[in-house]
């Protein structure tokens, strides 16, 4: 039960997922206690430092420029505003700030230099810093590490097979290559996915095969329940039942025993009892704050009250790994290379994505005429 394996098969994971629920919960809870403090939960705050206007066609994402979702876009936040938000998060009990920018991939230049300064600033606040910026090259990952980055998030989203039904503007291998580039540094990896996009149970198992066979396994794995946003191709998807979320958390815990399993998007649809069962099943990380990039999230005060009811404590920063050192920009040994990597653009057609794009064009034309 304490062994970390990198050779899980889809059939083995399906057998775990489909166990009688009480048996599944018991096994997951035992494994959780072998590797983690069952009463400690890592609390992160997700901050959108650049919102909207993304060129990708991810079927779940309201930030895609090609869809009409009434999302208010913003340019890159100033460093001082990011610092103020980080201090607010720290006061609310968060030990980590995850900064997200709606980019396809990182591009060398002034904006990336600003992000590096944000990383330095937050690390000096004695908080863990995570970024999710799209695809990164090895040199860009090394520059983030030099600035003091603690974790890099790059989700696989689903199985490789179902990924093609959700996204047509980038390939699955690009995501794996980005994780590999991060692994060439001392930065930890955060990678998970979304359930409720219309995928099968086999696809959920396939995603866990892809994550668990990484060596080392990701230090953090977010399990998101789709938040269906009007205007996106997946707007008609029904909400994930809490039992599916509990099973997914428990299965992830068994397959990835040392990983922090994070309850991410979709928590506003979960009862406190449902969240408690997820914690029992092995979830030991959450996003706190009233918004996850662009979708709703429980208020931090509600989370702290739930923690009190359950006897849970917010984990201190740098519990799992020592704090990275920050190298100031003037002392940096790394420079921008002006790289132009050939990230793939499969550009196959996904019918529902094309329909949402066409609908957005019609709406914008009507708005322009009026």
Q: Catalytic residues, which ones?
A: 54, 58, 61, 98, 130, 190, 262
CB atoms within 10 A of CB 173: 12
At CA 153, angle to CA 184 and CA 211, rounded to 5? Answer: 75
Of residues 49, 293, 261, 67, the one with CA closest to residue 167: 67
Q: What is the CA radius of gyration of the chain?
A: 20
What Cα–Cα distance (Å) separates residue 209 from each residue in 9, 10, 168, 182, 217? 6, 6, 22, 20, 11
Cis status, amide bond into 294, omega within 30 of 0: no
Of residues 283, 289, 317, 315, the one with CA closest to residue 303: 289
Residues in CB range of 71: below 8 A, 6 or more apart: 51, 52, 62, 63, 294
242-255 vs 10-17: helix crossing angle, rounded to 10: 130
């Amino acid at each position: 039960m304490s062994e970390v394996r990198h050779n899980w098969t889809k059939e083995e994971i399906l057998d775990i997922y489909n166990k009688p629920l009480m048996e599944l919960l018991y096994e997951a809870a035992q494994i959780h206690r072998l590797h983690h403090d069952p009463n400690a939960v890592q609390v992160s705050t997700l901050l959108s430092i650049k919102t909207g206007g993304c060129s990708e066609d991810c079927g779940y994402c309201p930030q895609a420029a090609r869809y009409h979702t009434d999302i208010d876009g913003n340019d890159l936040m100033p460093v001082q505003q990011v610092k103020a938000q980080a201090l607010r998060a720290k006061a609310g009990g968060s030990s980590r700030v995850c900064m997200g920018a709606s980019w396809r991939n990182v591009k060398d230049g002034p904006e990336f230099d600003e992000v590096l300064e944000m990383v330095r600033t937050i690390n000096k606040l004695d908080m863990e810093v995570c970024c999710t910026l799209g695809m990164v090259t090895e040199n860009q990952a090394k520059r983030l590490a030099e600035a003091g980055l603690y974790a890099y998030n790059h989700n696989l989203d689903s199985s490789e097979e179902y990924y093609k039904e959700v996204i047509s503007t980038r390939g699955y291998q690009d995501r794996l290559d980005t994780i590999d580039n991060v692994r060439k540094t001392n930065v930890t990896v955060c990678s998970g996915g979304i359930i409720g996009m219309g995928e099968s149970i086999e696809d959920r198992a396939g995603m866990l095969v892809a994550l668990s066979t990484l060596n080392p396994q990701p230090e953090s794995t977010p399990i998101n329940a789709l938040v269906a946003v009007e205007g996106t191709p997946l707007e008609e998807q029904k909400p994930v039942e809490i039992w599916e979320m509990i099973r997914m958390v428990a299965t992830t815990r068994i397959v990835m025993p040392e990983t922090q399993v994070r309850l991410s998007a979709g928590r506003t649809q979960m009862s406190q009892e449902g969240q408690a069962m997820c914690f029992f099943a092995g979830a030991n990380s959450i996003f706190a704050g009233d918004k996850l990039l662009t979708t709703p999230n429980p208020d931090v005060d509600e989370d702290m009250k739930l923690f009190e009811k359950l006897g849970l404590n917010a984990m201190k920063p740098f519990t799992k790994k020592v704090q990275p050192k920050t190298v100031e920009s003037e002392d940096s040994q790394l420079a921008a290379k002006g790289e132009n990597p050939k990230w793939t653009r499969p550009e196959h057609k996904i019918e529902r994505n094309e329909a949402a794009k066409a609908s957005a064009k019609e709406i914008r034309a009507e708005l322009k005429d009026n």
